[in-house]
Amino acid sequence: MGLRNITIKKGMKNVVFLNFSTFEKKGGIETVNKSVCFILSNLSKSGKIKFKSYSLFDKKVDCRYSNVNMYFAFSGSKYKFIIYSILGSFNSNYLILSHINLMPIALIIKLINPSIKILLYAHGIEIWKKLPYIFLKKIYRIIAVSDFTKRKICFYNKFDPSRIIVIHNTLEPFFDFKILQNNYDENYKIITLARASFEEQYKGYDLIIEVLNELSKKIHNIKYELAGPIDFKEKLRIEALIEKYGVGNRVNLRGLIPSKDLTNFYANADLFVMPSTNEGFGIVFIESLACGTRIITSNIDGSREIVKNNIIGYSIDLNDKIFLIEAILDDYKQKKSKTKPSKSDIKMEYLQNFSFSIFENKFMNFLNSINL
């Protein structure tokens, strides 16, 4: 995917990539990990770097992304993960961390190998806080998934912004795109895909349930599907909300969507809405675009950087539910009048702004900029 035409400066370097999970779990961070692993593995296969990756929770490697002899999975064994990560980094030049919570291990590695350069991936809410001074002192560069996350890091910490590079997320290189058709089904379907946690409750699906009755006055066939893993307490809370607003005939709690059904879930919807205000970026938004389905995001977090034009969707103020209602009604009216952008046009916006090849080029330019 373009690697044969890219050169890395100053000879071969040793690179170690530490992560909690790349293949065992599902989520935005895991999606980024797959892309990073794929690029570094291919560079290693072509003789441009030496690469190893160590994963705490993975049980096996997907060989499409990395050779077995480059990827070490420890099935949750913390002791083995820590020991092998330290030993594997002894003679390495660069240490890439997929998460800030891996910094304690990185500090041990830095103590043993002072010349190693620590590169940290910064995603979202996990990094929007005051960080220990020792962390900031030892980090060489930060890769932020959005300008919003970069600003948050600089707001909470005295960290040189020139040492933070922004690379917007992409989908994994083997994402299964759906063959798209314009969707003029009988129902007008809104969807959300999110982890529904009683402890977190920041994904905004409450707001959609709350406005469904108001929307149904003008969209008589409106339906809402909330998908993703949901814990027991949160399921009870959401069911109570559905009963409170009397929208049981309009809401479907889908639960976890199998990977093989994911593109169908996105492609068969009219609109993807996740009115969260705490997204570092939001992989689910670009998954929806890749399947030809418009999105609604907040206009105050990292997800607003996805909505580059009105083909993609709407970036709105979520402090007042009227803006959410107006955006949904506008999309519905465009569907009815057949002036809404086609699913193929929406998918093209993904390809032109967030495709894997764009991510790969930006990531490779970053590696070149630090002489890796």
pLDDT in tens, 312-326: 999 999 888 999 999
Mean pLDDT of the chain: 92
pTM of the model: 0.92
Closest CA to 303 of 291, 316, 293, 290: 316
Q: Is residue 335 part of a domain?
A: yes
3-state helix, strand, coil in the chain (%, to 5): 40, 20, 40
Give the residue carrying structure tokens 């994911």.
262
pLDDT in tens, 251-287: 999 999 988 889 999 999 999 999 888 899 999 999 9
Residues 341 and 361 in one domain: no
Residues 51 and 149 in one domain: yes
Q: How far is CA 237 from the centre of its chain?
A: 26
Over residues 293-317, the mean pLDDT reads: 95
| 95 SS3 class | strand
pLDDT of residue 154: 96
Is pLDDT at 158 greater than 60 in this prediction? Answer: yes
Domain around 117: 3-170+355-369
Proportion of the chain above pLDDT 90, given as a percent: 84
Residues 45 and 165 in one domain: yes
Residues 204 and 270 in one domain: yes
Going by the DSSP 8-state scheme, the letter that residue 371 receives in this structure is T
Residues 139 and 166 in one domain: yes
pLDDT in tens, 11-25: 689 999 999 999 998
Indicate which CATH number applies to the domain containing 74: 3.40.50.2000
Q: Using an 8 Å Cβ cutoff, are 53 and 59 in contact? A: no
How many domains is the chain built from?
Answer: 2
Q: Using an 8 Å Cβ cutoff, are 21 and 58 in contact? A: yes
Is pLDDT at 246 greater than 50 in this prediction? Answer: yes
Model confidence band, residue 1 (pLDDT cutoffs 50, 70, 90): very low
